[in-house]
């Protein structure tokens, strides 16, 4: 709801007089709070039902976290706009405020992200990594009551909830490259609704949209998804976009990195270039290992 409210406020500022009614749709990803994300076989568990409501005309547009949006949408839908990006980094929340390097061996860190698990194993192989589910505030509560010694979360999510005082440490983007689309919102609407598309276009942020195009094309090239430990971070301005992609082995010991920079209007080409570079370096072998392990 918070990210929806952010979008609604932007619409009201850029299109005075436009009325927006919020409608909450519970998804299968919201209902199942126990199964680790990597163990859920279906794709799009957080957006599928919501997007179907847009297709059916029950709602006019939907607000998603970009990292939950599949690279191929329903034929009747489009990403109408991408508002300005929030923080991209991951942060550590620990029971006693310890930084990652100070957590003792054997301490339990909760995450259901295969990417974060691999990154953790790379930098702190003697910590225990266990699945954790629930909303951001629920995960923080689980750490505070001692179910876990720490957890890793997206900074943007904590910032939206006003929970930055719970952060023990902002993790290095070099050691913990984020998931593609982290910190980015996607507003999805029907392609045929031209009037609404014009309204939504006003709240789009061009550099963020270029970053999203580059990161999503990288995901598409690698056939990525929730089960693939792919880190991707693009940085764009009005003229150029730079994209760095990383892929990790299951134990975190192997890491492949590729980087490309180019004109901002070639963001998709840049995403494709980074994906192809990772494939040339052996990403497919690592990717298939993960798919086999969790199929």
Residue 270 confidence (pLDDT): 98
174 given a catalytic annotation: no
**Fold assignment, 90-170:** D-Maltodextrin-Binding Protein; domain 2 (3.40.190)
Which listed residue (68, 90, 149, 193) is catalytic? 68
Concatenated DSSP letters for 242-281? EEEEEEE-TTS--EEEEEEEEEGGGHHHHHHHHHHHHHHT
Is 118 within 8 Å of 250 (Cβ atoms)?
A: yes
Average pLDDT over residues 152-180: 97
| Cα dihedral sign, 126-138-46-295 | positive
* Mean pLDDT for the stretch of residues 150-163: 96
Domains 1-84+184-204 and 205-295 equal at CATH topology level? no
- Model pLDDT for residues 186-213, shown as the tens digit of each residue: 999 999 999 999 999 999 999 999 999 9
Asked whether the CA dihedral 134, 224, 212, 55 is positive or negative, the reply is negative
pLDDT, tens only, 66-123: 998 999 999 999 999 999 999 999 999 999 999 999 999 999 999 999 999 999 999 9
| Domain 205-295: assigned CATH number | 3.30.160.40
Query: Which run of H or E residues covers position 132?
Result: none
pTM of the predicted protein model: 0.89
Tokens of 149: 């010694």
Residues 6+ apart with CB under 8 A from 237: 207, 264
Instruction: Report the mean per-residue pLDDT for the chain.
Output: 91
Q: Domain limits of the chain?
A: 1-84+184-204, 90-170, 205-295
What pLDDT is stored for residue 134 in this prediction?
A: 92
Residue 41 has pLDDT above 60, yes or no: no
CATH number corresponding to 1-84+184-204? 3.40.190.10
């Amino acid at each position: 709801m918070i990210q929806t409210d952010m979008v609604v406020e932007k619409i009201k500022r850029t299109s005075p007089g436009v009325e927006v009614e919020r409608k909450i749709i519970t998804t299968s990803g919201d209902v199942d709070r126990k199964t680790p994300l990597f163990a859920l076989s279906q794709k799009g568990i957080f957006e599928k039902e919501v997007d179907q409501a847009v297709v059916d005309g029950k709602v006019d547009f939907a607000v998603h976290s970009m990292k939950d949006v599949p690279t191929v949408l329903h034929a009747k839908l489009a990403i109408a706009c991408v508002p300005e990006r929030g923080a991209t980094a991951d942060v550590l929340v620990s029971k006693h405020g310890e930084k990652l390097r100070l957590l003792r061996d054997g301490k339990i860190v909760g995450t259901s992200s295969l990417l974060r698990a691999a990154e953790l194993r790379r930098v702190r192989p003697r910590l225990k990594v266990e699945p954790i589910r629930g909303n951001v505030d629920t995960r923080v509560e689980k750490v505070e009551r001692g179910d876990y010694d720490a957890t890793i979360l997206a900074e943007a999510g904590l910032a939206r909830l006003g929970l930055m005082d719970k952060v023990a440490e902002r993790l290095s983007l070099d050691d913990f490259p984020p998931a593609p689309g982290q910190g980015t919102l996607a507003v999805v609407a029907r392609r045929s609704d031209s009037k609404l598309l014009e309204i939504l276009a006003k709240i789009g942020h061009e550099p963020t949209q270029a970053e999203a195009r580059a990161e999503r094309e990288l995901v598409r090239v690698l056939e990525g998804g929730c089960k693939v430990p792919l880190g991707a971070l693009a940085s764009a301005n009005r003229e150029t976009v730079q994209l760095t992609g990383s892929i990790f082995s299951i134990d975190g010991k192997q890491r492949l990195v590729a980087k490309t920079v180019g004109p901002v209007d070639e963001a998709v080409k840049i995403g494709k270039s980074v994906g192809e570079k990772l494939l040339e370096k052996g990403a497919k072998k690592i990717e298939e290992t993960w798919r086999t392990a969790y199929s």
